[in-house]
Amino acid sequence: MSEIPAELLALWFFAIGLCVGSFLNVCIARIPEQRSVVFPPSACPACGSRIRWYDNIPLVSYLVLGGRCRLCHTWISPVYPLVELLGGSIFLAQFLHAGLSIELARGSILLTCLVVLFFIDLRHMILPDLITYPACFAGLAFAAAGLAPITVLDSLSGALGGAATLLIILGGYYLVRRRLGMGLGDVKMMLSIGAFLGLKGTYLALVAASLTGGVFSVGLLLLGKKFDYAIPFGTFLAFGAAFSYFAGSGPLDWYLSLLQF
């Protein structure tokens, strides 16, 4: 039996990722409202009409319908195809990054959870326990089973170290400003990130999140925005964690080498 060409496998994983992205859209829409992600079937957010299977094909149906509901013709948010495309890109990137290995599954679990947390925090300023706790458990389980590139000790150190760092920052901010600068959801998110990335990867994710969050904040100031707008730090943590996962410890090792005299 001949081997399946790598190009065909890549296309197959991209298609699977598109379908997973469609399910991630359901999670992003329903989890904040504490609704089931299984029942009822998907429906138009405007008119409530059930979406038929042929109108629910990832990316294709959105393009065919011109981004509108077939029945009420209301515009459908472009976030839906964007999340589907992210799902496809994640599975494709993981296949190219890890090949046919356990790491393909491990990384895909982390990255798809990050997508859900990214958009939920951006929309609702919450990071649901329903995502963060299971993700933390999954990261620790992979490491404990010897199916991760980090040891179980590093996984545990990353989870506790990242969460403790944010708790210290929260405590210091509260002592100075007498209010919390972020929610405990960010701390729980650090537990899940650390469980997957280990201690070095966790701190690289935190640095990357802080830098991108800082750039965003400066951008708001340049636009004349006042800081009565809360920054969804979990959104930046998701970006930082994804960057850390693919970059590895190289950027952090390089930075630490600059501090050596």
CA distance 14 to 108: 12
pLDDT in tens, 52-88: 888 889 999 999 999 998 889 899 899 999 999 999 9
Q: What percent of the chain has pLDDT over 70?
A: 88
Q: What percent of the chain has pLDDT over 90?
A: 65
CA distance 114 to 118: 6
Residue 126 has pLDDT above 60, yes or no: yes
pLDDT in tens, 211-255: 998 888 777 777 765 555 567 889 999 999 999 999 876 776 666
Distances (CA, A) of 80 to 24, 25, 41, 231, 251: 9, 6, 16, 23, 33
Per-residue model confidence (pLDDT) at position 258: 62
Q: Name the β-bridge partners of 75.
A: 68
Per-residue model confidence (pLDDT) at position 91: 96
Rounded mean pLDDT, 190-198: 97
User: Which spans in 125-183 are helix H?
Assistant: 129-144, 152-177
Mean pLDDT, the chain, integer: 88
pLDDT in tens, 32-46: 999 999 888 888 878
Residue 180 has pLDDT above 90, yes or no: no
| pLDDT bucket at 20, cuts 50 / 70 / 90 | very high
Residue 12 has pLDDT above 90, yes or no: yes
| pLDDT bucket at 1, cuts 50 / 70 / 90 | very low
Per-residue model confidence (pLDDT) at position 179: 63
H helix count then E strand count, the chain: 9, 0
Taking each helix axis from N to C end, the angle separating 152-177 and 129-144, rounded to the nearest 10 degrees, works out to 150
